Amino acid sequence: MSETTQSIKRPGAATGSWYELATRHRASIVAAVILVFPMVMPFTALAVNILIYGLYALGFNLVFGYLGLLSFGHAALFGTGAYLCGIAIVHFGWPWYAAIAAGVAGGLLMALLIGVLAIRTRGIYFAMVTMALSQCVYYLFYQAVDLTGGENGLRGINVRTIDLFGLRIDFINPMTRYYVIAAFVIAAFFVMSRILASPFGAVIEAVRENEGRARASGYDVTLTRLLTFVLSGGFCGLAGALQALHLSIVPIEILHYETSGLVVMIALLGGMGTFFGPMIGAAVFLVLENVVSVWTVHWQLIVGAIFIACVLFFPAGIWGTLIARGRR
Amino acid sequence: MAGLSFDLIALQLFAGLALGAIYVLFAIGLSLIFGMLTVVNFAHGAFYMVGAYVGLYLISIGGNFWICLVAVPIAIGLFGLAVERVLIRPLYGRGIDYPLLLTFGLSYVMVECVRIAFGKTGYPFDTPEILQGAVDIGVGYFPLYRLFVIGATAVVLLALWLFLEKTSFGLIIRAGARDPQIVRVLGVDVSKVWLIVFGIGTAIAGFAGLLAAPLQGVIPEMGGTILAEAFVVTVVGGMGSIGGAVLAGLLVGVVVSMTSLFAPEMAKVSIFALMAVVLIVRPQGFFGRAGLMS
């Protein structure tokens, strides 16, 4: 959060309160939690999923929570990151770090393409246009069978070891795999914290709060929106690339609009426009999904019902509600 | 490309109009609800899907297609009324995104309920016997059922137009779309009008689902695909404009139909390309204005 927004918020919270401490060291807190997380979470595969979807939701939240635009097309950014990372490994034999870079670049580029078109529309159109464009990306990847494997998905992304400065890390061991992915996720959280604390981060929130006033203050609202959307694409592309490495396959469903809806649910459940919300949302959502799907195959019914209840009664989400309680 | 004659293109054009008719019905419901309530109904595809399944159920217990044509819109419309009253009404005035998010969650619930009741796999839906076969329309033989779809859509559009333009209730709806506050000041219970508009919109979605069923069969996921495509229609035509929805729906149908003739693998992508062009040239769509029927 920027200096200006902090000075606005300061009178509300008592100095030195837990909330302010948490805000100042937010990225370090996330890092600490992620590092000890596997010790309380017995299923490492689930823990890795939580990391990846938390990162995906973090990128989405930049647009939804901080910029105030509801995108229903983030699957295209996530999926493009995954596919580009996979294609770089399978078809071009790139090393793992270059493949991750390709995934991030793919997310950024796709966000630029979608953003340029979608930003032209106002308000409620944005959700519809992003959803329609991501559906278009789905069909394009579906058709490019030679490159993407089409309906069968992209198979054979086998990264067994991670070579780093002469060090050879076993990527098949679930625990080391978790910490390799965790390193990227933690880095992304630090970058996000930095972006939000920068003057640009303040402009993002200014555009959300009052578009007219931001424009009158001399900020280019359209450019801010586009840049934020592209940045969000970078985070989601990274999440997608990590997902490709984790699953060693990219299923075509990754581009389906349900993947876009999933991140909306996660962000809203955790608390939109909050720093910790996406990670909390991902953890709660995925644990819930695991628990409920043991009990019934119709977990979508439960998930949908919980989401409806959230929209009706807890629109601030888990973390947002906690903050509101803490401030009182 | 051999044998690509004028007749073939004309026939494909008609096939496109039949496909477009489904888009038109779907999109006018969406547009009507948005124009009046400023709610983007993400569950519209689910209402469409449930419409097809209600038809399937009615026929399985001994009903026929003609009974369905009346009973399905009534059933789905009543369901829509309940949804508006119970779930959407508490969200008015809380930001434009919340009803959208709620209806998105609702679509999950509806799709899963249909999966529980009818199973995950799809069913074929028989074309009623009288409407089977093809008729000569001058340029070649054309499936009779597709002609029926075009005709039924025209009837619904005409009825809707008469209702909105010629009745006093329609007058209130049009006024409410322009300025709900003034309408309220004039002593009209706007919330009741919104309730009914949502019911009409969903009833038309159910009707569209029933009409589409014999063309493509029924599966629980059928609503999701058409929803994204209907968004293209509303963006191209202009949100909240019924005339725009009609024109753009038919255009999208013809574009899909024509691309599947020349480059079948690009058929799905072509409509999104159309949307991209419209967004660049005319971001507000053909008739993009706030008012309804304007």
Q: pLDDT tens, B194-203? A: 899 999 999 9
Per the CB < 8 Å rule, is A308 touching B102? Answer: yes
The three-state secondary structure class of A169 is strand
Q: pLDDT exceeding 90 applies to what percent of chain A?
A: 48
Residue A162, classified by CB atoms within 10 Å of its CB into exposed (0-12), middle (13-18) or buried (19+), is: middle
pLDDT value at residue A16: 56
Q: Bridge partners of B135?
A: B142
pLDDT value at residue B157: 93
Q: pLDDT exceeding 90 applies to what percent of chain B?
A: 41
Tell me: pLDDT of A2 over 70.
no
pLDDT value at residue A166: 66
A301 touches chain B (CB under 8 A): yes
Tell me: pLDDT of B52 over 90.
yes
In a domain, B122, yes or no: yes
Query: Which of these, B50, B45, B10, lies nearest to B29 by C-alpha position?
Result: B45
Tell me: pLDDT of A9 over 60.
no
Domain span at residue B213 reads 15-221
ipTM of the complex: 0.84
pLDDT value at residue B196: 92
Helix extents (H) in chain B: 6-37, 44-60, 65-83, 97-118, 144-166, 168-178, 180-185, 190-216, 222-237, 242-262, 267-281
Work out the pLDDT band at A11, boundaries 50, 70, 90: very low
**Contacting residues for A109 by C-beta, under 8 A, at least 6 apart:** A80, A233
Which helix or strand (DSSP H or E) is residue B136 part of? strand B134-136
In a domain, B45, yes or no: yes
pLDDT value at residue B289: 57
Phi, psi for residue A17 in degrees, rounded to 5: -70, 165
Tell me: pLDDT of B293 over 50.
no
Tell me: pLDDT of A244 over 80.
yes
In a domain, B111, yes or no: yes
The arithmetic mean of pLDDT across residues B240-249, rounded, is 86
pLDDT value at residue B252: 92
Alpha carbons A166 and A170: distance in angstroms, whole number:
13
**Interval A195-238: pLDDT, tens:** 999 999 999 999 999 888 999 999 999 999 999 999 999 999 99
The arithmetic mean of pLDDT across residues A23-44, rounded, is 78
The arithmetic mean of pLDDT across residues A162-168, rounded, is 71
Domain coordinates of chain A in residue numbers? Answer: 26-327
CA–CA–CA angle B159, B163, B165 (5° rounding): 115
Q: Which two tokens stand for residue A289?
A: 């999904």
CA–CA–CA angle B63, B67, B71 (5° rounding): 110
A139 touches chain B (CB under 8 A): yes
Pick the CATH number of A26-327 from 1.10.287, 3.30.360, 1.10.3470, 3.30.300: 1.10.3470
Residue A325, classified by CB atoms within 10 Å of its CB into exposed (0-12), middle (13-18) or buried (19+), is: exposed
Find the residue in A nearest to B265 (Cα): A143
| SS3 sequence of B163-195 | HHHHCHHHHHHHHHHHCHHHHHHCCCCHHHHHH
Mutate to test the interface with A, among B109, B255, B271, B289 (most CBs of A within 10 A): B109
In a domain, B246, yes or no: no
Range A30-45 burial, b when 16+ CB lie within 10 A, else e: bbeebeebbeeeeebe
Work out the pLDDT band at A111, boundaries 50, 70, 90: very high
pLDDT value at residue A1: 39
Tell me: pLDDT of B139 over 90.
no
Alpha carbons B173 and B180: distance in angstroms, whole number:
9
B232 CB neighbours in chain A (<8 A) are 132
**Contacting residues for B201 by C-beta, under 8 A, at least 6 apart:** B29, B30, B32, B33, B41, B44, B80
Q: A268: distance to nearest CA of chain B, Å?
A: 9
Highest mean pLDDT (candidates B68-72, B177-181, B282-286): B68-72
Residue with tokens 């280019």: A220
Q: What is the mean pLDDT of chain B?
A: 87
Alpha carbons A125 and A239: distance in angstroms, whole number:
26
- Bigger pLDDT: B138 or B270? B270
B94 CB neighbours in chain A (<8 A) are 315
The three-state secondary structure class of A43 is coil
The arithmetic mean of pLDDT across residues A306-321, rounded, is 88
Query: B85 with B192: CB under 8 angstroms?
Result: no
- Bigger pLDDT: B265 or A230? A230
Q: pLDDT exceeding 70 applies to what percent of chain B?
A: 96
**Interval A258-267: pLDDT, tens:** 899 999 999 9
Q: Which of residues 231-290 of A touch B (CB under 8 A)?
A: 257-258, 261, 264-265, 268
Tell me: pLDDT of B3 over 70.
no
A117 touches chain B (CB under 8 A): yes
Tell me: pLDDT of B26 over 90.
yes
Of B94, B105, B273, the CB nearest to A308: B105
Number of domains in chain B: 1
Q: What is the mean pLDDT of chain A?
A: 86
The three-state secondary structure class of B135 is strand
**Interval A245-286: pLDDT, tens:** 999 899 999 998 889 999 999 999 998 888 999 999 999 999
Tell me: pLDDT of A15 over 60.
no
Which helix or strand (DSSP H or E) is residue A32 part of? helix A26-40
Of A124, A143, A312, the CB nearest to B265: A143
Tell me: pLDDT of A6 over 50.
no
